[in-house]
Copies of this chain bind each other. A is one copy, B any other.
Amino acid sequence: MNRWAALAAMTGVFSCLTLAQEATIRRWDIFELSLPGPSEGNPFLDIRFSAVFRNADKTYEPEGFYDGDGIYKIRFMPDQEGVWTYKIKSRCAELDNKEGRFMCTPALPGNHGPVRVRNQYHFAYEDGTPFFPFGTTLYEWPFQSKELKEQTLETLKHSPFNKARFLIIPPWKEHYATGPTKLESFPVPGNSRDTFDLTRFNPEYFRQLEWCISQFRDLGVEADLILFRPYDDGKWGFDRMGAAVNERYLRYVLARFAAYRNVWWSLANENSFLENLTDEDWDRLFQIVRDYDPYGHLRSIHNADRVYDYSKPWVTHVSLQYYMAVRCLGISPMLRDIYKKPIVHDEINYEGNIDKRWGNISGEEMVFRFWSAYIGGAYATHGDAFGPSEDPTWISIGGRLQGQSPARIAFLKKIIEDGPPEGLTPIDQYFENNIAGKLGSFYLIYFGREPLKEWEFRLPQKGLKPGLRFQADLIDTWNMKITPLETVFELEKLNRYTYIDKHRSKIVLPAAPYMALRIRRID
């Protein structure tokens, strides 16, 4: 046991007193050590180091990374208050055995820790606060001008979105290579396939990504980082770096980013389009992420036409691109039952006007697909694609939102947040395709495109009994209106499957599409 660990072990009070002058870090913030070390040779290849962090029975061992200019860094996200000690391990004598400690103090308000799977199909921050993902897509926003990035953040701030997917390696596009928007830095030194040095990384490039991640964190937005992408067109070669470089790249990314509480790992966008990576390769890449991320951030992969097996144990949630699964109602519950994990429909086409068929659905359709996901106990991710087909605003470059769906998604988000904190559970999902809630107390019923004139009050029997009383709100999901109804419904059993109101009450509906009912128990 080292000196500080011994001190810390003596008494909490004593340790705290002793440590009062020492560094203090808020829970789930980042403790960063910066150490001088050798700068000759290739530190990215030559020097491995990690640090063991301890606090009571907790131990973590994040890897460190070379940040250029002879500086070695190690980052750590403490998840427990109190005294943490650390000790560096390296074959490099200059780094080895360095030790120290810091005090972890309570998280600031609004910092709830990283997001975890909770209640099997849902999510919560580590402190237990529910997290209902309302995602959006900003593939290339880190590679834009400072002004555009600032605008993107400002837009996000006033949007409902609390998770955004983006690439951490830029896609190849002519204008990134040679145009007015030529990129200044790449993940590795160099600026073309001929000059890229895959044995090194470019710290400045990663610092810019860290700025992006931290800006999201400060807005309360989870950064769903896309680690590999196929969009290379044979030009840069980042889609075919080989197994050794892929591993080194992942470990470098993990060493730099894992201490940010708001990161999620998306192994790839459209993974099967990375044609030289097999599912076995993806297994291995998942395992690397699992093994080198000390904190177990969420891990998934986004498919193209070969769907990865999301039931594998290292996948924390399903990140699906399968439009049909939200184009009709009732399919998300089946996906939950198949995978037994949270279902996130991470690409459901984009609201927009571009000439690609995946980027021109209407606002109504986007909102329908969102409701289709959430009413099935699942989650969805939005995208907004207006303007030039190759570089539409928002999904590609960020900037402003132009679609009609975000306001309606915000409206849905409020309804979900006002619902059961444990998330929506599909109700009677073998027979009903549009009811979710919490048995016995909360029912959300979505009528989708059906322009119904009335609805006879009826609920599936499970969890109910005669005499329970309910009230209902009529929800216009498109016009964003909630109308509380005056009727009180009192349950009576109709048959083995169904309860109805004892007065056989019907609810009058406006014969328009996109209506919903929220039915809540009184008492």
Contacts and interface: CB of A to CB of B under 8 A. Distances in A.
Interface stretch (A162-170, A190-198, A321-329): A321-329
B324 A327 contact: no
Contacts of A331: 324-325, 328, 331, 334
Interface stretch (A177-185, A427-435, A450-458): A427-435
Interface in A247-288: none
A430 B309 CA distance: 18
A328 B325 contact: no
A337 interface: yes
A430 B307 contact: no
Contacts of A431: 323, 357
A210 B322 CA distance: 45
Contact of A333 (B324, B334, B430, B497): B324
Nearest to A309: B311
A324 B429 contact: yes
Nearest to A303: B337
Contact of A311 (B311, B323, B430): B311
Contacts of A142: none
Interface in A279-333: 305-307, 309, 311, 321-325, 327-331, 333
B327 A433 contact: yes
A324 to B, nearest CB: 4
B307 A497 contact: no
A338 interface: yes
Contacts of A321: 430
B337 A338 contact: no
A499 to B, nearest CB: 15
Nearest to A312: B311
Contacts of A330: 324, 327-328
B327 A334 contact: no
A334 B323 CA distance: 10
Given A309-B311, A311-B311, A331-B331, A430 B337 contact: no
A430 B324 contact: yes
Nearest to A338: B307
B337 A322 contact: yes
Nearest to A324: B330
A330 B323 CA distance: 10
A429 B337 CA distance: 22
A314 to B, nearest CB: 15
A49 B394 CA distance: 70
A346 to B, nearest CB: 14
A431 B321 CA distance: 12
A211 to B, nearest CB: 35
Contact of A305 (B329, B430, B433): B430
Contacts of A324: 330-331, 333-334, 429-430, 433
A366 to B, nearest CB: 16
A305, A324, A337 pick with most chain B CB within 10 angstroms: A324
Interface in A489-511: 497
Contacts of A497: 357
A160 to B, nearest CB: 26
Contacts of A325: 331, 334
A282 to B, nearest CB: 15
Contacts of A327: 330, 433
A230 to B, nearest CB: 16
Contacts of A357: 431, 497
A189 B36 CA distance: 82
A327 B328 CA distance: 9
Interface string A339-366: 0000000000000000001000000000
Given A311-B311, A328-B328, A430 B334 contact: no
Contacts of A333: 324
Given A305-B337, A324-B331, A338-B338, 12 more contacts: A307-B337, A311-B311, A321-B430, A324-B333, A324-B429, A324-B433, A325-B331, A327-B330, A327-B433, A328-B328, A331-B334, A357-B431
28 contacts: A305-B337, A305-B430, A306-B337, A307-B338, A309-B311, A311-B311, A321-B430, A322-B334, A322-B337, A322-B430, A323-B430, A323-B431, A324-B330, A324-B333, A324-B334, A324-B429, A324-B430, A324-B433, A325-B331, A327-B330, A327-B433, A328-B328, A328-B329, A328-B331, A331-B334, A338-B338, A357-B431, A357-B497
